[in-house]
Structure 1
């Protein structure tokens, strides 16, 4: 993850080292009752030069560092430690970094020398104010437009890597090897073993905060999940999603973009644990050789949801099968809620390039499937577009927000590898052209345009900002009260 330009971590490593080394030199010098002039004389340098080193404005050369270490009676390693020696030094370094950042500059506050007489509490108060200003700036930036921009950037990253993340696959492999998972469906017992391996015990509570899926008590190694698992829920998924953040070392997100990235990484790692690459990839290669690739078979083999199987297929299809794919999740209202493509399919986008939130073409497989009475078997369709012909397989699944369709598709040339390629269902979609389906037929428009007035069901986030906080939408007061009530005494 990259730090925001205004954050302390946006400084270079050299800046950080210089500040820390300088504070360690000054602290060791004062502990030995040496003046700046005494140390300067001992190393044959001007006091002003050493002053710049101690304040982090100049990085000393190795030969000078060695001379300073000898004068202070310590080894050079004592000066090169990454952390300052005491709390005061840590606070001073943090404030000096903050003063070099964008927030102070934007407020017109010039960096000032932190004197010995300035109370530590005053420095802490300045740091707290700086942190709160940054938080408020991030909160104001968390608008629907900002969310769409972050989502577009993340989708471009996923596309550039063919939705395959080798580091996350490696992490999943290491965890599964540690608990000696033999392959095949990952059981609830194995999920519990993974929790134990990571130092957590599982606890099911009826009063889990409504804004959360799980809550981890890091101090006591306890993972809380709801005891009210929905009828169609998967207990393994909730456990693995919670643990994935710990496996990946996620810290509190500093921006909505980082929050979104962490969520994608968590879902990816969960899928990689439920459907290990080492077992799924050979099975997919075999299915391709037999021209019998099927998302349903993948779902059934690993006892996961159709959506999980479809997602996992997009992770591995290009990397292991050399097949470009696209994925869509569409609400029954026609709104696209999730999307991915690396096969150049022409999804509708807004001016920012965001796909999510756009209306899916009525003639696309993801919309047509809602009109099918047969919900037991998958629906297949070829769709002719201005960008070529695509084949898709789709299913309708229920969720707490209503019905959704989940579809996976490929270009016509790759259809030969899939079950369902012999379908006679066909459609024509030109959703980049207004007349395709976003505009009513001419006779209907002429008859009703001047004689109708729909009362729009406005999305609640249309005019409001996104839910605020480090974890958008989570009521942290509820979380802290819950942990306090359930913590072991």
Structure 2
């Protein structure tokens, strides 16, 4: 696509350099001076034939006219000023346009551009409310459901990367993960002073990836590196909004998971297990040496696409609130008025809550639950971290439970949620006894009152990142 503003300013600069008037250039190309002026002001795109005529008249090539660089620093400022005045934000201000004249100094233009940039920042900060984020998350989850949570293009990318380093299958070792970094042109550096707001930092200038020296005992050290590599491979640029930030996170997590549990070998493994009616998230975890959560995620990526099994996934905090959720099996997840699931409370009779009461936390927990849309079988496990205890659950409709180990469980509960009488509304006798005789002191989550973290990379302190890179950058040769 032609940038009519840049092309127009280049034509004006070339005309001026050659001492031509608007009339003279118009005569040379067979157009009126007014039509040339419209082109120079970037208000009309040129067809190829017209471009060739301008190039001949100005004694340059078409490629030179199409150069993306502004013809001068002054022209760059004028182009930027024109561009913001044609934008939606400037239009909402109700201000008259600023004529771009020679009398308008460079400093004045820079001041206007700076003020506009600050307005954009404040506007973006204002719209990045929890409501906006929840809407974006709801849209993204619907898109994932539409494709069965299977991203074929990312599976292909993972396969090509693994082939490039000669990985033949089985668990992905840390050595192979390092080989991937080398293949992509990066060296690994383990540091003790990584900014607290980051999981890793990629130095694109010097081809370095910095990861923490001391890994959390509940984290997979390969995942942090693979996620950093995934962002590079996918060509992610600085996100322009929270929806794009979320999409990038989903893509990097997916590609990292596809590298840890490759599709071809995982599908063969799962198909054999299905034929034996022994599907198990634990077995997938053990076969590829990953965390239970990674294995559960990958199961949802592959189960519907390759096994024909609809599923749902839940990660629930011990308080009962949803951290992550996905479904394509018509289970009714708790939602707010915006359709968002994250932060909502799961029914206390679901497997995701009942598993916290299980005495045996070493063995997988299985349960049938009668829900408004049918009976579902679920398998759940507790995963502990520095942020608390979480349950990871994978479920499927009753008809598909026959493919899973643990289908013979006798544990069964009934749930009528979202009906408030199911588990949210206290029984009548208890309410009558205690409603006016108690006053609980709520443990308020401060994040409920806070705006979303600001910045393109939500919550990341850019100053800390740049200071870190400055400290660790290799000395100039």
TM over 0.5: yes
Pairing 1:180–2:166 present: yes
Task: String of CA shifts for 1:352-402, please: whole Å, max 9, x gaps.
Answer: 111111111010000000111111111111110111011111100101211
What is the count of residue pairs matched by the alignment? 475
Q: Match for residue 339 of structure 2?
A: 353
Where in structure 2 are the equivalents of 1:24-423 lying within 5 Å? 24-423=10-409
How far off is 1:121 after superposition? 4.1
Deviates more, 1:127-136 or 1:369-378: 127-136
How far off is 1:141 after superposition? 1.7
**Equivalent residues of 1:323, 1:414 under 8 A apart:** yes
> Which of 449, 453, 463 is the equivalent residue of 1:463?
449
How far off is 1:256 after superposition? 1.6
Task: String of CA shifts for 1:225-249, please: whole Å, max 9, x gaps.
Answer: 1111112221101111122111111
**Structure 2 Cα separation of the partners of residues 288 and 326 of structure 1:** 18
How far off is 1:283 after superposition? 2.0
- SS of the equivalent of 1:163 reads coil
**Structure 2 Cα separation of the partners of residues 116 and 278 of structure 1:** 64
Task: String of CA shifts for 1:303-337, please: whole Å, max 9, x gaps.
Answer: 10000000111111111112111000011111111
RMSD: 1.6
How far off is 1:83 after superposition? 4.2
**Structure 1 Cα separation of the partners of residues 446 and 438 of structure 2:** 24
Cα 1:282–1:87 change in 2 (3 A) is: farther
Which structure 1 segments of 5+ residues have no match? 1-12
Moved over 6 A (4+): none
Task: String of CA shifts for 1:148-168, please: whole Å, max 9, x gaps.
Answer: 111111111111111111222
- SS of the equivalent of 2:3 reads helix
TM-score, structure 2 length as denominator?
Answer: 0.96
How far off is 1:99 after superposition? 1.1
**Structure 2 Cα separation of the partners of residues 229 and 100 of structure 1:** 49
**Structure 2 Cα separation of the partners of residues 324 and 82 of structure 1:** 49
**Structure 1 Cα separation of the partners of residues 62 and 453 of structure 2:** 49
Cα 1:305–1:76 change in 2 (3 A) is: same
> Which of 418, 427, 449 is the equivalent residue of 1:432?
418
Which structure 2 segments of 5+ residues have no match? none
- SS of the equivalent of 2:413 reads strand
